[in-house]
Structure 1
Amino acid sequence: MHARAVAATTTALLGTAALLLPVHDARAGGAVRPTVIAHRGASAYAPENTLAAVDEAAARGVVWVENDVQRTKDGELVVIHDDSLRRTTDVEEVFPDRAPWKVADFTAAEIARLDAGGWFGPAYADTRVPTLEEYVDRVERNHQKLLLEIKNPALYPGVEAQTLKLLSNEGWLDPRHLSGRLIVQSFSADSLRTVHDLKPAVRTGLLGTPPVAELPSYAGFADLVNPSHTTLSRSYVDAVHALTGPHGRRMEVFAWTVDDAPAARTVAGYGVDGIISNKPDVVRRAVYWY
């Protein structure tokens, strides 16, 4: 379904979204089925980290979406994966003399001029890089949940406090969102520790696969450990699950980025709590109906 046709059907489709949450399945001996998270939105079907990708995830009945946050030259938080605009926009054409086209070297107004969808396909020409405010508003409108990654925090001093302030201003730090609609993740343990210190109620996830011996050192400020699926084993998942996170609950594991049915079944068999995918519908079919 094209993203422009989503709005009228989102509410009805998300009526079945409970199927995507972790559930006990009698057919699998009571095993818990993992949550499915749309990586950068449903990015196999719409340009990544755009509002179109959020809507595409909603159209496919996916409740959780993941995104990446960086900061512009004039301090605006925008949703884009790379620290350069080159791969996912037409910045080289619009600003040919501004190499290496780093996000931090452009103002929000300049980035708003860029086409962030034409590279994906002509149907998405003139799609824009969303601000974080626009992004969370769309996620809210679609009744979805957000796995927000603070990207390259070392490049953007104070980005943790700025991100939390924006989330607060948009109503995302109230008890309803904090209890089950928001997780902040990062590859940087220091960044996650800062998020936890600033707002202890926010659930946080550490990206990567730290050695098992180091896992207890993260349990004080990280609720999840989110590794690449290629690094996982049942014993590693069990080691994470053996720990209690900062909110008094068992630590969880979200595996990324899984786009085919065999890999989805493998990591589901390890007992992961979530699977992050560019093709969340493929993963859903694999882990809910095999």
Structure 2
Amino acid sequence: MYARAAAATVAALIGAGTLVLPTASATAGTPTASRAAHHDRPLVVAHRGASAYAPENTFAAIDKARDMGFRWVENDVQRTKDGELVIMHDDTLKRTTNVEEVFPDRAPWKVGDFTAAEIRQLDAGSWFSPKFAGQRVPTLEQYMRRVSRNHQSLVFEFKKPELYPGIEKQGLRVLRDTGWLDRHHVKSKLVVQSFSADSVKTVHALRPDVKTGFLGTPTAAQLPAYAEFADQINSTHTAISADYVDAIHAQKGPHGKPLEIFTWTVNDAASAVRAAEFGVNGIITNTPDVVRKALRKG
């Protein structure tokens, strides 16, 4: 695939952060017992906290993950109109808050159209269950301090960074100010990821010591180019195969270690076992207890 013209095309795709599905050869493999035996049990990461059991990206969700015994959580970071970083998956507040009731005339309720003070007024829990009424949208600083208090580790995602120029530098500053860029945290407690290759490259350029992940499924032939700036290739579980995971592990990332893969979003036992047999390094899930139970049986 990598003739000169193809190489130029791939370089352009990486620069634009385009997601490319794997080639047929990357998806053809099936799991084998010998392959599974050569990999440790995958790390289980609570997606937006234990989001099957508490409202996503809230204190309740990460506290629930803690109470269930899960050390790793994942979040999403966006920016308000007045420049505050907040924990929110969608670029609109509509799905996970009562913003339509509080600000009925502000459609389409984009995160970037509201100040931090306005977002603090919103209920981010009632949509999930009345028992979570009064949960708030955390700021990134508040969230990092809560994760620290819980003795948890973090897969930190810059969500839609193209909407927020400079968010990588700002986010890293908050991580630094909350103690998350010291040697201990960088070495074993933090991964920064994004669907944007440009964003991942920016993080790597600003802090080459920080472990980074690219969210997507580049072709096997493209992996060496991604390995220049990403330590992980984090693909949806429906797009991977044993051969593709092997192709990821065959590459060395920017820190001289084999590339890793944290696959998402795996919420049932059969898919968890399948991903583990492929040899993935981590499984990101809304139902961490289901995945943990499946892996212990597998």
Measure how far apart 1:31 and its partner are: 3.9
Once residues 31 and 237 of structure 1 are traced to their aligned partners in structure 2, the CA distance between those partners, rounded to angstroms, is 11
Q: Which gives a bigger RCO, structure 1 or 2 (Cα 8 Å, sep 6+)?
A: 2
Once residues 149 and 286 of structure 2 are traced to their aligned partners in structure 1, the CA distance between those partners, rounded to angstroms, is 21
1:237 maps to which residue?
Answer: 245
2:83 maps to which residue?
Answer: 75
Question: Which of 129, 140, 157 is the matching residue for 1:121?
Answer: 129
1:102-141 correspondence to structure 2 within 5 Å: 102-141=110-149
Once residues 177 and 77 of structure 2 are traced to their aligned partners in structure 1, the CA distance between those partners, rounded to angstroms, is 16
Q: Does 1:154 align with 2:173?
A: no
Once residues 131 and 48 of structure 2 are traced to their aligned partners in structure 1, the CA distance between those partners, rounded to angstroms, is 18
Cα distance change of structure 1 residues 65 and 123 upon mapping to structure 2, 3 Å threshold: same
Once residues 79 and 31 of structure 1 are traced to their aligned partners in structure 2, the CA distance between those partners, rounded to angstroms, is 33
Cα distance change of structure 1 residues 146 and 213 upon mapping to structure 2, 3 Å threshold: same
Measure how far apart 1:289 and its partner are: 2.5
2:44 maps to which residue?
Answer: 36
1:66 maps to which residue?
Answer: 74
Measure how far apart 1:212 and its partner are: 1.1
Once residues 287 and 30 of structure 1 are traced to their aligned partners in structure 2, the CA distance between those partners, rounded to angstroms, is 15
State the Cα RMSD in Å: 0.8
Once residues 31 and 147 of structure 1 are traced to their aligned partners in structure 2, the CA distance between those partners, rounded to angstroms, is 21
Once residues 104 and 159 of structure 2 are traced to their aligned partners in structure 1, the CA distance between those partners, rounded to angstroms, is 25
Paired AA for residue 163 in structure 1: G
Once residues 297 and 171 of structure 2 are traced to their aligned partners in structure 1, the CA distance between those partners, rounded to angstroms, is 38
Measure how far apart 1:32 and its partner are: 1.2
Question: Which of 177, 180, 205 is the matching residue for 2:185?
Answer: 177
Once residues 189 and 40 of structure 1 are traced to their aligned partners in structure 2, the CA distance between those partners, rounded to angstroms, is 21
Once residues 238 and 290 of structure 2 are traced to their aligned partners in structure 1, the CA distance between those partners, rounded to angstroms, is 18
Once residues 29 and 102 of structure 1 are traced to their aligned partners in structure 2, the CA distance between those partners, rounded to angstroms, is 47
Q: What is the percentage of aligned positions where both structures have the same residue?
A: 63
Once residues 37 and 212 of structure 2 are traced to their aligned partners in structure 1, the CA distance between those partners, rounded to angstroms, is 30
Once residues 210 and 285 of structure 1 are traced to their aligned partners in structure 2, the CA distance between those partners, rounded to angstroms, is 31
Deviations 1:3-34 (A, max 9, x none): xxxxxxxxxxxxxxxxxxxxxxxxx7464100
Deviations 1:19-75 (A, max 9, x none): xxxxxxxxx746410000000000000000001100000000000000000000000
Once residues 44 and 97 of structure 1 are traced to their aligned partners in structure 2, the CA distance between those partners, rounded to angstroms, is 31
Deviations 1:139-183 (A, max 9, x none): 100110000000000000000000000100001000000001000
Q: Does 1:200 align with 2:215?
A: no
Once residues 163 and 174 of structure 1 are traced to their aligned partners in structure 2, the CA distance between those partners, rounded to angstroms, is 15
1:223 maps to which residue?
Answer: 231
Measure how far apart 1:230 and its partner are: 0.2
1:286 maps to which residue?
Answer: 294
SS at match of 1:83: coil
Measure how far apart 1:213 and its partner are: 1.1
Once residues 268 and 231 of structure 2 are traced to their aligned partners in structure 1, the CA distance between those partners, rounded to angstroms, is 27
Paired AA for residue 250 in structure 2: A
Once residues 271 and 252 of structure 1 are traced to their aligned partners in structure 2, the CA distance between those partners, rounded to angstroms, is 10
Once residues 291 and 263 of structure 2 are traced to their aligned partners in structure 1, the CA distance between those partners, rounded to angstroms, is 12
Question: Which of 209, 234, 237 is the matching residue for 2:217?
Answer: 209
TM-score normalised according to structure 1 size = 0.90
SS at match of 2:261: strand
Question: Which of 270, 273, 282 is the matching residue for 2:278?
Answer: 270
Once residues 217 and 29 of structure 1 are traced to their aligned partners in structure 2, the CA distance between those partners, rounded to angstroms, is 29
1:37-52 correspondence to structure 2 within 5 Å: 37-52=45-60
Q: Point out where structure 2 has 5 or more consecutive residues left out of the alignment.
A: 1-35
Once residues 276 and 222 of structure 2 are traced to their aligned partners in structure 1, the CA distance between those partners, rounded to angstroms, is 24
2:5 maps to which residue?
Answer: none
SS at match of 2:214: strand
Measure how far apart 1:210 and its partner are: 0.8
Once residues 73 and 209 of structure 1 are traced to their aligned partners in structure 2, the CA distance between those partners, rounded to angstroms, is 32
1:20 maps to which residue?
Answer: none
